[in-house]
Amino acid sequence: MPLRIIIVLLFVCWATTLPAQRISFDATVYQGSVWRHTPKLSTQSGEPIGGQEIGLRVHSTGRRDWQAWQHYPAFGLSIGHFRLGKGSHGDAFALIPHLSIPLIRAGRWAAYFRVGTGLAWVTQPYDWFDNPGQNAIGSHWNNITQFRLGAEFRAAPHLRFSAGGGMTHFSNGGSALPNLGVNIFSGWAGAAWLLQPLKKEDLQPAKTSKRAVQRRFGGQCQGGIALLEIASFDGPKHAVWIATASGYFQISRINRVLLGVDYESNRAIYEWGLHSARFSDEAAARQGSTRLAVFAADEFLFGDISLVLQAGKYVGNNINQFVPKASYAKLSARYYLPALLGKDLRPFVGISIKAHQFTAEYISGNVGLSF
């Protein structure tokens, strides 16, 4: 399910921005190192490693008002490679849909924040026989999530140079153990060639105000599922069923804040705890494998696409057993479908990655409704 949703989001990004007809081809090199984010990590860390990336971006020009409200972002798709090293799972190849958000524009200079999430193939995951000593990645197929901050200089009408820093994360979300994850902090430098020059006068201003919100309060409900292993490597996969309810306050047409409740039924904890005698009976297993949390979130809207940053804290007595930490974070990408029964009832599909500090717990596919 997460793979299918990623593909849907990718094509939606392409379809909603292609009419602007401002396309650039990008090339980037990376230099950094794997961060030892936990003492449990047995893979190589701290050694210099490099990477490369080629891709394209479709730059918005204000064809739709939300593009101007969001300072004319760019949607892109890149193919990347990181040489993780012989002691750290070999090589990683990635397909990364991403969103670049301008922060500052001043003359020929601009500052951007880029976020991307996609699919990665790691050549040497943990293997009981062939690679038992490296425990960061437990499968060939993984998620890649990347954050970049950088500056761009327009050297000529068609040519731009850029540089900055970023963090790249590889993980399978616990679907195959071990899954401590690979976190790379790196600097990067790149160049972009625009097929058609993009000038300041090409950026159309919005025709309406982003503050003109008719209804500021609303709600959302969401359901999701993730599959993960627990305790033993190469073991069976179990479902985590997720339900979320929240209320929101619409700050503007491109931003809203949410407060809500997360509920999870973690069948991996249920089965593991019951069969390892951590729980005395099925009732105790159901209680111990239930997770309940309160959360706050910020949703950033880009037309029919949104990014949600969420922070939560577990609450309740005799539940939330065997949670790694008392709090967690989620990053979600959503695509909103056409409205039902009026413009205020919007179904959506999406993906989420949940992490405790720098270790991902699961990747889920979601469906929901905003009202």
Residue 178 preceded by cis peptide, ω within 30 = yes
Alpha helix (H) residue ranges in the chain:
2-17, 65-69, 267-275, 282-288
Query: For the chain, percent helix, then strand, then coil, each to nearest 5?
Result: 10, 55, 35
What are 205-221's pLDDT values in tens digits?
A: 999 999 877 889 999 99
Task: Check residues 280 and 108 and name the one with the higher pLDDT.
Answer: 108
What are 296-345's pLDDT values in tens digits?
A: 999 999 999 999 999 999 999 889 988 989 999 999 999 999 999 877 89
Q: How much is the pLDDT for 17?
A: 44
Q: How much is the pLDDT for 12?
A: 52
Q: Which amino acid is at 188?
A: W
Q: Which amino acid is at 248?
A: Y
46 phi and psi, to 5 degrees?
85, -15
| Mean pLDDT (the chain, rounded) | 91
If you classify domain 217-370 with CATH, what class do you get?
mainly beta
Range name among 43-52, 269-278, 329-338 with the lowest pLDDT average: 269-278
pLDDT at residue 10 greater than cutoff 60: no
Tokens representing 341 are 């029964």
If you classify domain 2-202 with CATH, what class do you get?
mainly beta
Domain residue spans of the chain: 2-202, 217-370
Q: How much is the pLDDT for 231?
A: 66
Tokens representing 7 are 């593909």
Query: Are 125 and 151 spatial neighbours (Cβ–Cβ below 8 Å)?
Result: no
Q: How much is the pLDDT for 279?
A: 86
Range name among 1-5, 101-105, 287-291, 345-349 with the lowest pLDDT average: 1-5
Assign 5 to helix, strand or coil. Answer: helix
What are 25-35's pLDDT values in tens digits?
A: 999 999 999 99
Q: How much is the pLDDT for 176?
A: 86
Q: Which sign, positive or negative, has the C-alpha torsion 38, 41, 47, 49?
A: negative
Tokens representing 287 are 């209680």
Cα 187 to Cα 147, 191, 291: the distances in Å are 12, 14, 38
Most confident of 11-15, 221-225, 271-275: 221-225
Cα 329 to Cα 4, 64, 165, 296: the distances in Å are 23, 32, 22, 10
Task: Name every residue whose Cβ is closer than 8 Å to that of residue 356 and which is 6 or more positions away in sequence.
Answer: 323, 324, 325, 327, 328
Most confident of 36-40, 118-122, 267-271: 118-122
Q: How much is the pLDDT for 278?
A: 82
pLDDT at residue 347 greater than cutoff 90: yes
Exposure string for 142-169, b = 16+ CB within 10 A, e = fewer: bbbbbbbebebebeeeeebebebebbbb
Query: Closest Cα to residue 34, out of 12, 50, 14?
Result: 50
Rg (C-alpha) for the chain, rounded Å, is: 22
Q: How much is the pLDDT for 277?
A: 79
pLDDT at residue 357 greater than cutoff 60: yes
Q: How much is the pLDDT for 124?
A: 94
Q: What residues form DSSP beta bridges with 25?
A: 56, 193
Q: How much is the pLDDT for 132?
A: 87
Assign 298 to helix, strand or coil. Answer: strand
Query: Closest Cα to residue 291, out of 318, 311, 309?
Result: 318
Q: Which sign, positive or negative, has the C-alpha torsion 55, 334, 208, 107?
A: negative
Mean pLDDT of 248-274: 93
Query: Are 151 and 143 spatial neighbours (Cβ–Cβ below 8 Å)?
Result: no
Query: Are 266 and 240 spatial neighbours (Cβ–Cβ below 8 Å)?
Result: yes
Query: Closest Cα to residue 108, out of 153, 60, 61, 163?
Result: 153
pLDDT at residue 42 greater than cutoff 60: yes
Task: Check residues 312 and 5 and name the one with the higher pLDDT.
Answer: 312
Cα 326 to Cα 294, 312, 313, 321: the distances in Å are 11, 9, 6, 10
Q: How much is the pLDDT for 20?
A: 44
If residue 367 lies in a helix (H) or strand (E), which one and from where to where?
strand 359-370
Range name among 157-161, 179-183, 198-202, 352-356 with the lowest pLDDT average: 198-202
